[in-house]
Structure 1
Amino acid sequence: MKPYIWARLLLGAAILSVTSCAQSLPQTPAPQPVVPTLPATSAPKATASPSDRYLDRMAIIDARKDFRQSPNPGYVLDAHSVIRFPSLGPTGVIIIGDSILTGWSGYFAHVFPNAFLDGRVGRQFSSAIPIWRTLQENGMTHKVGYVVVELGTNGEVSPQDMQTFLQLVGDRQVLLVMPEMPRSWEHEVQDLYLQTAATHPNVHLVRWDLLSRNHPSYFWTDRVHPTWIGIQVMVHAIATDLQQVIANKHN
């Protein structure tokens, strides 16, 4: 046999041998691109519920509360009703409420010096309609851009009354303070507030229900009226949400 034929046979055998060995070795996967791993703390934010996100945003309240052992005597009012006019500038905010607003009207006025306050013990949501009409007739709503409603504790809120009130208010920004109380109409009122905020871009919720839940120290023994600790949380939640609404409106 010619020499070059032997060389070709030997080369072929070597190639077969190498190929056979390569097939018998474990295959090394091709390198994959490195995907950066997000920090563990970022994961919950993507799936956090609206309630959790609200509570996270409201955590700043602890840094803003007055942290006093007892309220200033001027913060408390023992009366059946109260009307307070702004002490600073024209009326930009109107706050309509019940005994919660009435009893702590001095503190509300301290935090909202340019607000007009109208509170009455036992007031129901339906009363907000004639109150607004009276204020409108007397020229009190001309420069008002924001309306806070702290009602719903003393009775059911009908969808008709809600729609009538919102029609009167027009395109002003409305903040509904979500009531939290152990009464039979609680969930019905809360559901209506949730539905209203979901269908009206100018309606916003102050989630007093979330902030006060599992905090018995926020309430007196009736589990309805807030203590000094509780009212600080409620009022500063209103202030924080109001600041957010104002910022969003001007952006």
Structure 2
Amino acid sequence: MKKILFMLVVLIFGSGIIVAGEVPEDIVFVGDSIMDSSKQYIAPNFKNPYFDTKISRQFSTLPGIVTKLVENGKLKTTLVVHLGTNGKFTDKDFDYVMKMANGKDVFFMNTAHKDPWEQEVNKKLKEKVAQYPNAYLIDWYSYAKGKNQYFYKDRTHPNDKGQRYYADFLTNEIKKHYLEENKEEENKDTKNNDSLKNNPSNPQNNDGNSEKIIDLRNLTKDTIKNY
């Protein structure tokens, strides 16, 4: 039994996957062929994930996809998007998606490929994400660019090894986000509790030994001796 548990721990941590405590269920993943090729490695890392991926998908189709997800009750918690490999997108596309997300967390993964619109897409994603408090950027470009051992000859689509590399990276980024968010909340609660403990006006800090207020004008000699 101990041997089995040890092997399980090695498999989990050896894969580079962060085991998180409070990661949302029912995360929706929308992407093109890059995500599509790796979804079999992503799926086991989350509870009840939903994938809508398609080869050669354009970012411009995202508003329609998200509309259907909302109408069908699929978008319950978090949306993860990896599009832009096959072309640019407009402010209108992005803004519509964020409106439909209605405050839910939306992660946008940038692109790593050899086409001329790569930098334009990545720059615009960074700018648009900064405009929304519930939008987050996953920097696939910095993580994967130039690591040709993980890609086919087109330097765009991950090979078998790269698909696992992609899945581990995406999983870690999402789980790390929620782990850090939970830590921040815990630290905030601890700080608030410490502040209350150190506040002399807090009734809970009163040990019952209130100070005696003495009016010296009304004291007699015998009374003074008692003090």
- Shorter-normalised TM range: 0.5 to 0.7
Change (3 A) 1:102 1:186: same
**Could you give the per-residue CA deviations for residues 140-169 of structure 1, whole angstroms, max 9, x where no partner exists?**
22xx22111011101111111111111111
Contact residue 37 and residue 163 of structure 2 kept, 8 A: no
Task: Write the distance in 1 (CA, Å) between the matches of 2:13 and 2:96.
Answer: 36
Task: Write the distance in 1 (CA, Å) between the matches of 2:139 and 2:161.
Answer: 16
Q: 1:115 aligns to what?
A: 49
Task: Write the distance in 2 (CA, Å) between the matches of 1:200 and 1:122.
Answer: 27
Q: 1:238 aligns to what?
A: 170
Q: 2:62 aligns to what?
A: 128
Which structure 1 residue ranges, 4+ long, deviate > 3 Å from structure 2?
Answer: none
Contact residue 91 and residue 116 of structure 1 kept, 8 A: no
Q: 2:120 aligns to what?
A: 188
Task: Output the TM-score relative to the length of structure 2.
Answer: 0.67
Give the 5 Å matches for 1:191-206.
191-206=123-138
1:103 to 24, 30, 37: 37
Partner SS, residue 30 of structure 2: strand
Q: 1:28 aligns to what?
A: none
Give the 5 Å matches for 1:56-205.
63-65=14-16, 92-141=26-75, 144-205=76-137
Q: CA deviation at 1:197?
A: 2.4
Partner SS, residue 199 of structure 1: coil
Contact residue 153 and residue 186 of structure 1 kept, 8 A: yes
Task: Write the distance in 1 (CA, Å) between the matches of 2:66 and 2:25.
Answer: 14
Q: 1:15 aligns to what?
A: none
Read off the aligned partner of 1:242 and give its amino acid letter.
I
1:228 to 140, 150, 160: 160
Read off the aligned partner of 1:94 and give its amino acid letter.
V
Contact residue 38 and residue 164 of structure 2 kept, 8 A: no
Q: Which has the higher contact order (CA 8 A, sep 6+)?
A: 2
Q: Structure 1 unaligned runs (5+)? A: 1-60, 67-89
Read off the aligned partner of 1:120 and give its amino acid letter.
K
Q: Which has the larger radius of gyration?
A: 1
Matched residue count: 166
Change (3 A) 1:145 1:218: same
Task: Output the TM-score relative to the length of structure 1.
Answer: 0.61
**Could you give the per-residue CA deviations for residues 193-215 of structure 1, whole angstroms, max 9, x where no partner exists?**
11122222211111111111221
RMSD: 2.2
Contact residue 212 and residue 230 of structure 1 kept, 8 A: no
Partner SS, residue 152 of structure 2: coil
Read off the aligned partner of 1:136 and give its amino acid letter.
V
